[in-house]
Amino acid sequence: MPDNPFQEIAPGFFEHLAHDRGLRPASIKHYRHFLRRFSAYLRRIDLRDFRHVTPTILSAFVASYGRRVGLPSLRNGCGNLRVFLGYLYSHGVLQTNLGAAVEFPQAYRLSGIPRSITWEEVKRVLEAVDRRAVTGKRDYAMLMLLVTYGLRAREVAALTLDDLDWRANRLRIPERKAGHSTAYPLSSIVGTAIIEYIKNGRPQTPDRHLFFRSNAPIGPIGHAAVSTRAGHYLRKADIDVPRPGSHTFRHTCVQRLVDADFDLKTIGDYVGHRSPGSTQIYGKVAIEALRQVALGDGEEALR
């Protein structure tokens, strides 16, 4: 796949992002990935001359892209597209700036429902892991961390051997999204899974990272791979959930705490939410009450 899918009409676009807009390599990587999606869409509809792009085509692409990603990724993608179209206009490729035709999707506070799964479904996922294999030992330990502590994929990927305090049975999660560190009691079940991987799965290396890729070249696992493996086991266990990945287990952890009547401040601190609003959305899903409504005793359940 080409490094710049629009090399012919915008050969200097990525240099523009780096030098003129001052974007970091990680941000430029997101632009490149998004524009590859856009280029593939134009090929799919057999549009070969970019001058024939219209607002209707842009809207159709955004709608198609939105079916594959979540709202935050869709909003970022719309921003990327507007910047790209503005660049083409400023360099004479387009006669009008079509960026104004790309509308950002509206996001409403507490509008979504977290994509958690039941504890029985969690058990099915864990049972789908082949814990005899090296990869299975690693993946089982990662899944246990995700669902027990509600960790993010990047937090699992960033774990090191130094974050495990075996004497005090503590697990440290440094530099969380909220800007602070968290220390958890290390569950015996989670600890056993980690020890099994360290002894019989983790490669011999001076690198202090906890989890490593299973294929060459051997190196620390990335956060995208953590989420991909989580999604793999959800599909393997035939669990139907929108956008399966590591966040499914994070949502499940939070929902279990809500169902256990922990207050939202405590839950937010436990999983490292940056603001209380991030936790409030889970209060919308009163699982037991809704289940009783479905069984026909709704008025009594909701009193």
In this structure, the answer to whether residues 144 and 281 fall within a common structural domain is: yes
Here the CATH number for the domain that contains residue 50 is 1.10.150
Same domain assignment for residues 264 and 182 = yes
CA 71 to chain centre: 12
Answer yes or no: is 302 within a domain.
no
Q: Does residue 21 lie in a domain region?
A: yes
Tokens describing residue 209: 């990272």
**Could you list the mean pLDDT of each consecutive 10-residue stretch along the chain, which spans 303 residues?**
86 93 89 93 92 92 84 87 94 91 64 69 95 96 92 92 94 70 86 96 95 91 94 93 87 78 62 50 43 44 37
Residue 241 within any structural domain of the chain: yes
Active-site positions?
A: 152, 177, 247, 250, 273, 282
- Answer whether 170's CB lies under 8 Å from 184's CB: yes
pLDDT reported for residue 301: 36
> Left (φ > 0), alpha (ψ -120 to 50) or beta: where does 160 sit?
beta
One domain for residues 68 and 155: no
Together in a domain, 80 and 161: no
With respect to residue 44, please indicate whether it lies within any of the assigned structural domains: yes
Q: The tokens of 72 are what? A: 């935050």
Short-list 47, 38, 48, 44, CA closest to 4: 38
> Which pLDDT score, from 0 to 100, does residue 285 have?
43
Whether residue 208 contacts residue 214, with contact meaning beta carbons closer than 8 Å, is answered with: no
Indicate if 158 and 77 belong to the same structural domain.
no
Residues 54 and 97 in one domain: yes
Asked whether residue 180 falls in the same domain as residue 289, the answer is yes
Tell me if 106 is assigned to some domain: no
**78 with 220, same domain?**
no
| Tokens encoding 155 | 């937090």
Domain range for 78: 13-101
Whether 301 is in a domain gets the answer: no
Q: Are 296 and 287 in contact (CB under 8 A)?
A: no
* 164 and 243 share one domain: yes
Q: Is the peptide bond before 217 cis (omega within 30 degrees of 0)?
A: yes
> 95 and 127 in one domain?
no
Question: Does one domain contain both 192 and 267?
Answer: yes
Q: Is residue 174 part of a domain?
A: yes
Domains in the chain: how many in total? 2
- 52 and 197 in a common domain: no
pTM of full prediction above 0.85: no
Looking at residue 180, its pLDDT comes to 60
Residue 23 lies in a domain: yes
